[in-house]
Amino acid sequence: MNPEKLKIAVLGGTGNIGEGMVLRLALQNLMAGGVKNEVIIGSRSPETAEEAAKEALRELENCGFDTSGTTITGNSNLEAAKAADIIILTIRFTHVEPLLKEIREALEGKIVVTPVVPMVKEGPLFEYRPPAEGSAAQAIKERVPESTKVVAAFHNIAAGKLKDIVQCKAVHDSVVCSDDEEAKKVVFELVRHMGCLKPLDGGPLKHANTIESLTPLLINLAKLNGMKDLGINFS
Ligand SMILES: NC(=O)c1ccc[n+]([C@@H]2O[C@H](COP(=O)([O-])OP(=O)(O)OC[C@H]3O[C@@H](n4cnc5c(N)ncnc54)[C@H](OP(=O)(O)O)[C@@H]3O)[C@@H](O)[C@H]2O)c1
């Protein structure tokens, strides 16, 4: 893996948080002194992914960025994962296990990033519902090859803030957990360059349940208090 030019697949990158993730990762290329990421959107439908890639480039241009130096493409989830060094799972927890089975061959030796929060809506509010493994992150770790490094990050940033690449420069914290220190460092740098996030070391993966559980709290606080797209600052 070349840390100067990472190939990053955003699986489910056609969705809510995936869209913002793609824009922010591509934007890292366009900043002075930025890294040179290649972003690959993954979808169940390669055509949908290709269209999302064109739409992301259009959005960056509409926001005044010259996209000639950036690469965003789309493909099936499997082909996107095969092409990538880092695979970000921007899909709901219920879809994670079948997707990991489908892309298993593409995961050997790679970094898998999970912002996945297992939660359910009970009436108007959300509740954290972790699996028996303790967290989505730990469930993912048990379903990938041994050589795959799992990193938990991006749970507590709202999709709306990630997508708002012009207005949202507010720095919220993103706690990063992993059992692999090298992989954690790589994801730390990705978080740091998102333009709206500050990475904080949250320790090993077993602590990911704490950060996952904060997401339903943020959504519920927003709903109950007439607020929107809340984030966290620990300082
Ligand atoms: N939204 C947020 O603000 C936010 C914040 C923090 C963390 N998260 C976490 O990020 C993850 C994604 O959330 P989201 O709100 O972005 O989700 P979403 O928009 O509902 O879905 C994301 C993508 O999942 C894919 N998908 C749908 N059904 C699928 C299936 N059966 N199998 C495989 N893929 C399927 C779809 O892509 P295709 O149709 O193109 O395949 C869809 O675009 C969740 O785990 C959530 O907890 C979200």
For ligand 1, whether the C-beta of 44 sits within 6 Å is: yes
Which amino acid does the sequence have at 68? S
**Is 159 near ligand 1, meaning CB less than 6 Å away?**
yes
Pocket test for ligand 1, best of 23, 91, 209 (most atoms within 8 A of CB): 91
In angstroms, what is the span from residue 33 Cα to ligand 1's centroid? 31
Q: In angstroms, rounded to a whole number, what is the distance separating the alpha carbons of residues 154 and 157?
A: 6
The one-letter code for the residue type at 124 is P
Instruction: Report pLDDT digits (tens) over 43-89.
Output: 999 999 999 999 999 999 999 988 887 899 999 999 999 999 999 99
Say if ligand 1 is within 6 A of residue 96 CB. no
Q: What are the boundaries of each domain within the chain?
A: 7-224
Give the architecture (CATH level 2) of 7-224: 3-Layer(aba) Sandwich (3.40)
* Rounded mean pLDDT, 196-201: 95
Q: How many Å lie between the centroid of ligand 1 and the Cα of residue 94?
A: 10
pLDDT tens readout for residues 87-118 = 999 999 999 999 999 999 999 999 999 999 99
